[in-house]
Amino acid sequence: MQSLYDKKLYILILLPAVLLLIGFFFNEDLSTGGSKLDFIRTAPIIMDFANFGYDKINHLSRHAPLHYILLSIPYFFFNDIYIVKIFYFIFSLLLPFFLYLNLKKIYNFDKINLLLLSSSFLLFPYFRSSAIWPNAHLTALIFLLIANYFYILTTHKKNFLHIFLNILFLSCATYSMQSYIVFFAFYLFNYFKLYGKYYFSKILLICFLFSIPGFFLIFYSEIISKLEFTADIYYTLVTNTSITFFFICFLILNSKSFKIIKETFVKSNKIEIISIVLIFCFIVSNFSYDLLLGGGFFYKLSHLLLKNNIIFYLTSFLGFILIYLIFKKDKKILIPIILVNLTAINYSISQKYFEPLLLILIFILFKNFLVSNLLSKTKYLLFYYFAVFAYFIIATVNNNYNFSKNLIF
């Protein structure tokens, strides 16, 4: 009986990969056309690098060049952009593979549960669109996962090679998406705590060596100067907390985590809750954003259903409360939330900056109660899996009927 049950779980594990392959053959883009457009617009950069040219990146992209350099390799040999897509599609499968390796080192749960959780990421719309239409966000995330795996190994046993590989792949992530430089702060701080000043100075030397190409980009390239950050803190706070709430909901749908959140709320200091309400009211009163670009799932849903920001504001408020409650229960979980928010302070904030980066960081940076509870029972994990699957279905329907696209055009 258990064997039959396990076989059904393995079908669920393989299903996302099959659906991703089907999506590849049909040129699916669940980002409602954005990923395809980005790839087509930046394809000349790949061709330029393949011919040892370096000019087009300054005009066609604001990202660091490593992503395009990697894609230029298969183009150099085959001179076919479709081969480049196939190459990258295979490369994208490293994400669930290294996510599984990270989880296996952190959590002592059944292998089949870890596989199911890892494979579920193949259902996330922005992962799918980035895997099918090569995107620098996914390249950077894969390198970050590899870097974190070697970091976990160093926490078990001090090994200079593992530290070197951690910094190497973290640098690769940064040279794909320069906003990933914020993750250096996390790893360097922990290395300093683990190994002390003398050993830490060696690690800093490695960082300096890998930063030399970065100095070249700063002084001799236009790429860094194209980075745009918002000065509107109110827009950033409201939008980021709404998107954060969306993703954390996947982790508290099980009764165990929901009960912990509920109990934490009941025990919370009422003055602190009232203070959050007042601060949020002040932030919303200063919120000003009239465009329908970006904003995340609830921003689009709010304008689709009500043609105003009510649902958006409500989910942002719940995001503030949820982050506060999680902080009260496990302060460490605030770190991945802060790190992701630091990478998403553009003028127009999109859900792609959080998906699936936020969930992955919560899964791999620390052992925490949200992930432990999720993995503790297969039924909790299945509920999470089907919630992600439902999100995939909603994104597919939205893509086919152009609901969110029609808000803009």
pLDDT of residue 56: 84
Q: In angstroms, rounded to a whole number, what is the distance separating the alpha carbons of residues 342 and 335?
A: 11
pLDDT of residue 210: 94
pLDDT of residue 290: 75
Tell me how far CA of residue 186 lies from CA of 190, 218, 340, 359, 360, in angstroms.
Answer: 6, 23, 12, 17, 15
For 226, other C-beta atoms within 10 Å of its C-beta total 13
pLDDT of residue 308: 93
- Please provide the DSSP assignment of 249-266 as one string: HTTS-SHHHHHHHHHHHH
Q: What is Dmax (Cα atoms) for the chain?
A: 65
Count of all residues that appear for the chain in the document: 409
pLDDT of residue 288: 85
The type of residue at 337 is: I
Q: In angstroms, rounded to a whole number, what is the distance separating the alpha carbons of residues 364 and 275?
A: 32
The tens digit of pLDDT for each residue in 176-195 reads 999 999 999 999 999 999 88
User: What residues have CB less than 8 Å from 275, skipping those under 6 apart?
Assistant: none
pTM of the model: 0.95
Q: In angstroms, rounded to a whole number, what is the distance separating the alpha carbons of residues 118 and 384?
A: 12
Q: Which of 169, 263, 174, 155 is nearest to 214 (CA)?
A: 174
Task: Spell out the domain ranges in the chain.
Answer: 2-226, 233-376
pLDDT of residue 61: 81
CA angle, 91 then 27 then 58, to 5°: 65
- Residues in the chain with pLDDT values less than 70: 1-4, 220-231, 346-347, 408-409
